[in-house]
Chains A and B, each alone.
Chain A
Amino acid sequence: MNAIVQCQALTKSYGSKQVLKQLSFELEKGDVAALIGPNGAGKTTLFSILCGYLKPDSGSVSLLGHRAGSDALFGKVSALPQDAQFDPAFSIGEQLDFFGRLQGLSNKAARAETLRVLALVELSEQVQHKAGALSHGMRKRAAIAQAFIGQPELVLLDEPTAGLDPVNALHIRQLISRLSGDVSFMISSHNIFELEQLCNKVLYLEHGQLQTQASGETDSQQQYLTLQLEQDDAAAVTQSLSQLPGLVSINASQKKELVLCYSVQQNTDFDLAVLQCLAANGWRYRNLTKGQTLEQKLFKAV
């Protein structure tokens, strides 16, 4: 069995408020899973339980075959905890060295590892600086760097790009993308477009319950196209596209954007037919994407 995270009937309450309600899910080795949900949905509580910071009231959690927080997971599971700060008395380099030593590295290997992970987040020049001398974004990147010390098998990232400038957010996304496959990730974020780029599995949490568990796999019978128009001709376009063979449904997801569901069996070249229809009518389009966006998948009903 390749499941690296197994949660069964997880329940957690703070006083009378139940934050997680019978939550069950599994992640496979190599998965890059997104944890999405509104504020107060229980994402950080779930992260805290997975990291062993918090014990569930009931249910079981297993990571890499061990209970969460077990000694056997030291160095194998790493995390970017929400709002965790470095010790202000020591430099970032000294603290990362120390983390490396705790993970069983020698002094020399720990220093080499510190330099490697700081280079991953482009902070090599800050190795001698204390956390207080760094900007918020730099501190966040240093906190991300500590999650990559050694060879973790599972990395849990709570809001990894929140507060980062676009360039550094892109670097972090590229880093995760580069490492995915060898390392499994679970990423909590409100940036749905970022998660769409990175993740092959989505856990949508609301009121402590798993509302949707979507994967990158698509239904082979029915597929989707998302069409963004340049002008607001949606009504006329909808009318014309409705005539196309194979169309199952067409919805205006937002202004100038249509989501087309079609049957592959009935029309294998449906995307070409759409383009031909647009060209024939002189309608200009901005973007034609195969599939639905993650946002559309998750919030269809909204």
Chain B
Amino acid sequence: MTTLGFTLHHSQLYAGFELRRLWLTRRGLKTLAATTMIWFFLLRYAIAPASELIANDGFQQFFRSIFGDSGLTQLFAWPAPELAVYWAVSLLLLPLFSLFFTANQLCSDIERGTLRFLALRSSRLSIVLGRFSGQMLVQSCLILLSLAATLSLAMWREGGISLAVLSAALVIAVNLFIVLLPFTALMSCFSALVRSSRLAVSLAIVSLGLLFAMLSWFVFYFPDFLFLLGYLPGTQVLQLLPLQGWQTLQHAVLPLVQTIVLLGLATVILKRKML
């Protein structure tokens, strides 16, 4: 097997192991239970009532009279109002959840010394890629579960489910996956850098905040560089919000490039780290 082959094989093994951590360990099951609770409350007390409101023609006319035909009114065009609310809620909340959820990709293993066992058997690139892929798989499971719950809600209200709704759900799942990529890769970097997941989250929030503040200050004095703000992770979320269908993928390039750069950085950090 070639070096690339070994890297991919090992990454796949690591990703599978992370998936087992979600479904077969006590800690993973607690995560599932917590996610279920959060989404139950979101569905019961936010998405369901909001969907009923959005489905109401009177509310749509009222909304248009206030905001005009701005991008936000495009939310009414989703084939099911539940998906429209899910789209808006998850686009805004999941990146933040992701920072917390994926903070422990490497730091506990570094602190505990478990990584020393692994580093004797696989490259540090495989470890970074594998853990990252594992976290993406785990988040995909959680997205699919919450999306399935939202679809159930729509089905219960409509009394059935159309192909258009299923297609829209697929668009949402793919887009959320892409949106979470750079945030998960960012946490790969911070979890390789420090020895505690709390510190990794704190560093990520402070770094993103500082970066945004510094860029804003810079742009204030040099307005020609306004475009730089568009390169921050997650800035495409606001552009995605009014979109729907596969046209949303026009904003996929930036997060993919950010992910590759951040994973490269995480690998360099881990390679330079004393285990």
Task: Name A residues whose Cβ lies closer than 8 Å to a Cβ of B.
Answer: 48, 51-54, 69, 71, 74-75, 77-79, 81, 83-87, 89-90, 94-95, 98-99, 101-103, 143, 146
Contacts and interface: CB of A to CB of B under 8 A. Distances in A.
A98 B275 contact: no
Nearest to A85: B112
Given A74-B122, A78-B120, A102 B275 contact: no
A53 B6 contact: no
B275 A48 contact: yes
Contact of B274 (A53, A101, A143): A53
Interface stretch (B21-29, B43-51, B210-218): B21-29
A84 B112 CA distance: 6
Given A51-B116, A84-B114, A102 B121 contact: yes
A51 B245 CA distance: 51
Contact of B121 (A53, A54, A75, A86): A75
B120 A89 contact: no
28 contacts: A52-B120, A53-B116, A69-B119, A71-B6, A79-B116, A81-B117, A83-B113, A84-B113, A84-B114, A84-B116, A86-B114, A86-B117, A89-B21, A89-B25, A89-B26, A89-B27, A89-B28, A90-B20, A95-B117, A98-B17, A99-B121, A101-B13, A102-B10, A102-B118, A102-B122, A103-B121, A143-B117, A146-B117
B123 to A, nearest CB: 6
- Closest 4 interchain pairs by CB? A84-B113, A53-B275, A102-B121, A81-B116
Interface of B: 3, 6, 10, 13, 17, 20-21, 25-28, 109, 112-114, 116-123, 274-275
B114 A87 contact: yes
Contacts of B119: 51-53, 69
Given A89-B25, A90-B25, A102-B13, A84 B274 contact: no
Given A54-B274, A54-B275, A87 B121 contact: no
A30 to B, nearest CB: 21
B120 A77 contact: yes
Contact of A71 (B3, B13, B25): B3
Nearest to B21: A89
Contacts of B113: 81, 83-85
Contacts of B117: 81, 84, 86, 95, 99, 143, 146
Nearest to A53: B275
Contact of A87 (B28, B112, B122): B112
A90 B109 CA distance: 13
Contacts of A87: 109, 112, 114
A229 to B, nearest CB: 47
Given A89-B26, A89-B27, A79 B3 contact: no
A79 B115 CA distance: 12
Q: Indicate the member of B112, B113, B120 with the most A CB atoms within 10 Å.
A: B120
A71 B126 CA distance: 11
A85 B3 CA distance: 28
Contacts of B122: 74, 102
Contacts of B114: 84-87
A78 B114 CA distance: 14
Contacts of B118: 99, 102
Nearest to B114: A87
Contacts of B25: 89-90
Given A48-B274, A48-B275, A71 B123 contact: yes
A98 B13 contact: yes
Nearest to B111: A85
Q: Indicate the member of A81, A83, A90 with the most B CB atoms within 10 Å.
A: A81
A102 B10 CA distance: 6
A89 B21 CA distance: 7
A154 B122 CA distance: 17
A158 B114 CA distance: 15
A195 B66 CA distance: 84
A146 B17 CA distance: 18
Nearest to B28: A89
A79 B120 contact: yes
Contacts of A86: 114, 117
Contacts of B26: 89
Nearest to B108: A87
B121 A74 contact: yes
Contacts of B28: 89
A103 B116 CA distance: 14
Contacts of B274: 48, 53-54
A105 to B, nearest CB: 11
Nearest to A84: B113
Nearest to A75: B121
Contacts of A78: 120
Nearest to B113: A84
